[in-house]
Amino acid sequence: MLLVMLCVSGVFANAVSATTTNLPDTVARALSQAGISESSIGIFVQTIGANQPILSIGAERSLNPASTLKLVTTFAGLELLGPAFTWNTEVFTDGSIQSETLHGNLYLKGQGDPKLTIEQFWLLLRNLRARGIREIRGDLILDRTAFADERSDSAGFDDQPTRPYNTTPSALMVNFKAVTLQFIPEPLTRSVRIISEPALLAVQISNHIKLIDGACGDWLSRLRVDTPGQADAAQLQFSGVYPLDCGERTRSYSVLGHRQYIGALFTQLWKELGGTFSGQVREATLPNTARAVSSITSPALSEVVRDINKYSNNVMARQLFLSLGLSGSSGSGATAANANLNIRQWLQQRQLPMPELVLENGSGLSRIERISAQHLGQLLLAAYQSSVMPELVASLPVAAVDGTLRKRLKNAGVAGQAHIKTGTLAGVRSIAGYVLDARGNRKVVVFIINHTQAGQAQAAQDALLNWVYSAESNTCCESTPRRSSKP
What average pLDDT does the segment 41-58 reach? 97
Class of residue 233 by CB neighbours under 10 A (exposed 0-12, middle 13-18, buried 19+): middle
Does 205 share its domain with 333?
no
**Which residue, among 380, 390, 360, has the nearest Cα to 431 in the 3D structure?**
380
pLDDT at residue 67, rounded to an integer: 98
Q: What is the mean pLDDT of the chain?
A: 92
Of the pLDDT bands very low, low, confident and very high (cuts 50, 70, 90), residue 161 is confident
Q: For 423-465, what is each residue's pLDDT tens digit?
A: 999 999 999 999 999 999 999 999 999 999 999 999 999 999 9
Does 350 share its domain with 407?
yes
Decide if 77 is inside a domain: yes
Output the domain CATH number for residue 113. 3.50.80.20
Long-range contacts of 312-316 (CB under 8 A, 24+ apart): 312/67, 312/70, 312/403, 312/404, 312/421, 312/422, 312/423, 313/114, 314/67, 314/165, 314/166, 314/363, 314/364, 314/365, 315/114, 315/164, 315/165, 315/167, 315/169, 315/173, 315/176, 315/363, 316/114, 316/115
Does 121 share its domain with 45?
no
Does 197 share its domain with 329?
no
Our count of domains for the chain comes to: 3
Output the domain CATH number for residue 425. 3.40.710.10
pLDDT at 329 over 90: no
State which of 269, 299, 329 marks the end of a domain.
299
Does 71 share its domain with 108?
no
pLDDT at 288 over 70: yes
Does 338 share its domain with 419?
yes
Does 369 share its domain with 445?
yes
pLDDT at 102 over 70: yes
Q: For 264-280, what is each residue's pLDDT tens digit?
A: 999 999 999 999 999 99
Residue with the bigger pLDDT between 16 and 255: it is 255
Decide if 1 is inside a domain: no
pLDDT at 122 over 70: yes
pLDDT at 153 over 60: yes
The beta strand positions in 12-58, using DSSP E, are 41-47, 55-57
Does 130 share its domain with 277?
yes
User: Which 3 state secondary structure label does DSSP give 193?
Assistant: strand
Task: Say which amino acid occupies 209.
Answer: I
Q: For 337-377, what is each residue's pLDDT tens digit?
A: 999 999 999 999 999 999 999 999 999 999 999 999 999 99
Q: Helix crossing, 25-34 with 458-469: angle to 10°?
A: 180
Decide if 162 is inside a domain: no
Decide if 486 is inside a domain: no
What average pLDDT does the segment 298-323 reach? 98
Decide if 360 is inside a domain: yes
Whole-prediction pTM: 0.92
Order across the sheet with 418-425: list the strands. 55-57, 41-47, 442-450, 428-436, 418-425
pLDDT at residue 290, rounded to an integer: 97
Q: Note down the domain range covering 206.
A: 179-253
Decide if 80 is inside a domain: yes
Does 133 share its domain with 273?
yes
Of the pLDDT bands very low, low, confident and very high (cuts 50, 70, 90), residue 18 is low
pLDDT at 154 over 90: no
Does 228 share its domain with 273?
no
Decide if 464 is inside a domain: yes
Does 276 share its domain with 201?
no
